[in-house]
Amino acid sequence: MKIDRLIAMIMILLENEVISAGALAKKLEVSSRTIYRDIDTLTMAGLPIFTTQGVAGGVGLMKSYKIDKKLFTPKDIQTLLTSLRSYRQLYNHKEIVHVLEKLSNIGQEGVKSEKGSSFTVDLSLNQGNRSLRSLLSSVEIAINEERYIKFDYINKDGNVTSRKIEPYQVVFKESSWYLQAFCTLKEDYRIFKLARMGNLYVLPETFVPRDFSPLAMDGSGWMSDERVPVKIRIALSLKDKVIERYGEENIISVEGDSCLAIFPIVNNEYGYDILLRFGDKCEIIEPSDVREAFQNYVRKILAIYK
C-alpha cells in the first residue's frame, strides 16, 4: 500500500540527515522513479523535504521537522521486529518490508540487529510445504476482505467433502497449519488443516463477521473423540516428547534408561499413529484393551509387507 510506503519513507528520512534516492528505492523495494513520485507526494502534503546534488547528495528533511521518536522501548522494538521477521518468512509482502523499515529506523539505542537477536522463530516452509504459501496468502485475503472460501476437504478417514466457510483465524501448531472458521455445511465452527484442503477458491461473496472466539487447540474443544490416559514405558531420550505435549507432571517415574509416563490418546488409529512415531522406544503398559488394540493395528500394518 502506498500509505505504508510513505510512512516508512518518513521514518527513514527522520533517521538520516541525507539519503540517496537509490538507497531509498533499495530499502523500500521499489524503483527510483516511484521514490521521486513519493517525494513529490510528501512535498505537496507539506513536509519540508530538501534535495542536494553531488556525490554525497540525496534527500532529507529539514531539521526543524525532526521529532521525538521514542515511542517504544528497545525491548518493545526487538519483540516487534522478531515477530514481523518471522511473519515475513511466510508472506513476503512489501507492506511488511515497509513496517520493518519503520521499526528498524526508529533509532532506539540498544536495539539488536537481526543477526544479534536473542530469540528467533523459524517459520520457513520446507520443500513439501512451500505450496502452502499461496494457500496461506489466499486465506489471508479472505480473512482481511471478509470473503467466503470454498474448497474440497479430505478428513482423517479419507472422505472428501465440499466446504464453504467463513475464515477467522490461522493457527500454527505442532508443525502444521490450521484454519479456524465457521462451516456453512455443519452450521458450526470447525478447524481445518490447510494441508488437507484442495481446489481452494476465495469467492467474491462477502459475509458479516460473527462474534468469533478462538477455538481451543488442545483437543478439548474441536476433537469430539474422548482421550484415554495410557500408561507407557518410553526411552529416556524421548522423555521430552511427553513433557512438550502434556507437561512434566505426566512423568510417573524414571527407571534407568527409560521412564513411565501417562500419555492420553484417542483410542483409535489416529491415536495409535502418534505412539508409532516413537518406534521401538515406546511400549503401552495399560489399559490392556488399548494395548491389545494397538497390537492388532501393528499386525495390520505388517500384513501389508508379507
For residue 125, tell me if it sits in a domain: no
Q: What is the model's pLDDT at position 142?
A: 92
Backbone angles phi, psi at 70, to 5 degrees: -80, 65
- Return d(Cα 111, Cα 125) in angstroms, integer: 28
CA-wise closest residue to 82 among 112, 102, 126 = 112
Same domain, yes or no: 233 and 294 = yes
- Asked if 278 and 270 touch (Cβ cutoff 8 Å), the reply is no
SS3 call for 2: helix
For residue 212, tell me if it sits in a domain: no
Buried b (16+ CB within 10 A) or exposed e, 183-194: beeeeebbbbeb
Beta bridge partners of 19: 59
For residue 220, tell me if it sits in a domain: no
Residue 2 identity? K
For residue range 239-266, list pLDDT tens digits in order. 998 888 888 889 999 988 999 999 999 8
Same domain, yes or no: 231 and 300 = yes
pLDDT of residue 157 exceeding 80, the answer is: no
Show the cell assigned to 281. 522406544
Of the chain, the percentage scoring pLDDT greater than 70 comes to 73
> Which of 173, 206, 239 corresponds to the end of one domain?
206
Mean pLDDT of 3-11: 76
Kindly report the CATH number assigned to the domain that includes residue 11.
1.10.10.10
pLDDT of residue 43 exceeding 90, the answer is: no
For residue range 182-208, list pLDDT tens digits in order. 999 999 999 998 888 889 999 999 999
> Which of 65, 89, 105 corresponds to the end of one domain?
65
Backbone angles phi, psi at 221, to 5 degrees: -100, -15
DSSP secondary structure of 232-288: EEEEGGGHHHHHHHH-GGGEEEEETTEEEEE--EESSHHHHHHHHTTGGGEEEEE-H
pLDDT of residue 296 exceeding 70, the answer is: yes
Q: To the nearest whole number, what is the mean pLDDT of the chain?
A: 80
pLDDT of residue 74 exceeding 80, the answer is: no
Same domain, yes or no: 9 and 53 = yes
Same domain, yes or no: 189 and 235 = no
- Return d(Cα 1, Cα 11) in angstroms, integer: 16
For residue 232, tell me if it sits in a domain: yes
The CB density around residue 208, as the number of other CB atoms within 10 Å, is 6
For residue 60, tell me if it sits in a domain: yes
For residue range 86-118, list pLDDT tens digits in order. 656 555 555 666 666 666 655 444 444 545 556
Kindly report the CATH number assigned to the domain that includes residue 167.
2.30.30
pLDDT of residue 170 exceeding 50, the answer is: yes
Q: Domain of residue 27: give its range.
A: 2-65
Q: What is the model's pLDDT at position 85?
A: 63
For residue 8, tell me if it sits in a domain: yes
Q: What is the model's pLDDT at position 105?
A: 59
Mean pLDDT of 269-292: 92
> Comparing 133 with 140, which gets the higher pLDDT?
140
For the chain, the domain total comes to 3
Q: What is the model's pLDDT at position 134?
A: 75
- Asked if 39 and 49 touch (Cβ cutoff 8 Å), the reply is yes
Same domain, yes or no: 292 and 244 = yes
Q: What is the model's pLDDT at position 110?
A: 47
- Asked if 254 and 303 touch (Cβ cutoff 8 Å), the reply is no
The CB density around residue 110, as the number of other CB atoms within 10 Å, is 9
pLDDT of residue 224 exceeding 60, the answer is: no
Residue 7 identity? I
Same domain, yes or no: 155 and 195 = yes
Q: What is the model's pLDDT at position 292?
A: 95
For residue 185, tell me if it sits in a domain: yes
Q: What is the model's pLDDT at position 167?
A: 95
Same domain, yes or no: 17 and 55 = yes
pLDDT of residue 222 exceeding 50, the answer is: no
> Which of 65, 97, 113 corresponds to the end of one domain?
65
For residue 251, tell me if it sits in a domain: yes
Same domain, yes or no: 297 and 247 = yes
> Comparing 131 with 5, which gets the higher pLDDT?
5
Same domain, yes or no: 24 and 60 = yes
pLDDT of residue 165 exceeding 60, the answer is: yes
Q: What is the model's pLDDT at position 121?
A: 60
Confidence band (pLDDT; 50, 70, 90) for 81?
low
Ranking 13-17, 167-171, 262-266 by mean pLDDT, the lowest is 13-17
Hunting for cell 540498544 — which residue is that? 110
Radius of gyration of the chain (CA): 27
Length of the chain, please?
Answer: 306
pLDDT of residue 225 exceeding 70, the answer is: no
